[in-house]
Amino acid sequence: METARIPTQVDVPAGQGRAVRLRAGDTVQVIDVDGAQVGDLFAFAAADTSEHLSASHTRTATGRLFPRIGEQFFTNRRRPILALAADTSPGVHDMLIAACDAERYRILGADVHASCAANLRLALAGLDLTTAVIPQPVNVFMNIPVHDGGELRWLPAVSGPGDAITLVAEMDCVVVVSACPMDLNAINGERPTALAIATHPQQEV
């Protein structure tokens, strides 16, 4: 007999990443513990990490810069992978900005710096998984408004302590969340802080 699965919470320390496995129907929450912290969220099909959540395919399917409550995120094979179920934050998120990486920090003058790209690879390695690419993340709580003329602005996140975004797995998948280590611009407010990932198994009928 299969052991009953119970809700779990995984702490994501500031500047680090963590991965969780989900089955179709499971719920996952990304929680901003102290407020004003960006989280880079990635999702991969459990059976094949070459299939991943794709921001561009999601924008094509929804016709929006970010899905509404009840809408889905799609993979690079145009299959739904997650659905946006609830959001207790002000609802300011981003799907335009690439994950920070070592080269991004070198350009900004930091030769050695943690990054969301490295966090993704480390988190997947903890599950004995790899990825050939760093997909465009879903940047939860990230505040990048688009102004007249298409200008992007890098503003502090407006999420508060305990704000959470809730997603439902539409397929068996692996979700990775990086508490973005960016401290060379304003997106994380004064300094990077922690996030948390709470998973809730689908109730068996």
Give the pLDDT score at 205. Answer: 37
- Residue pair 79/64 in contact (Cβ under 8 Å)? The answer is no
Q: Which of 83, 94, 92, 193 lies closest to 136, judged by CA?
A: 94
Q: Cα–Cα distance between 105 and 20 in angstroms, integer?
A: 27
Could you report the per-residue pLDDT of 95-114, keeping only the tens digit for each? 999 999 999 999 999 999 99
pLDDT over threshold 80, residue 145:
yes
Q: pTM of the predicted model, to two decimals?
A: 0.95
Q: Cα–Cα distance between 42 and 32 in angstroms, integer?
A: 16
pLDDT over threshold 70, residue 1:
no
Residue corresponding to tokens 């502090």: 156
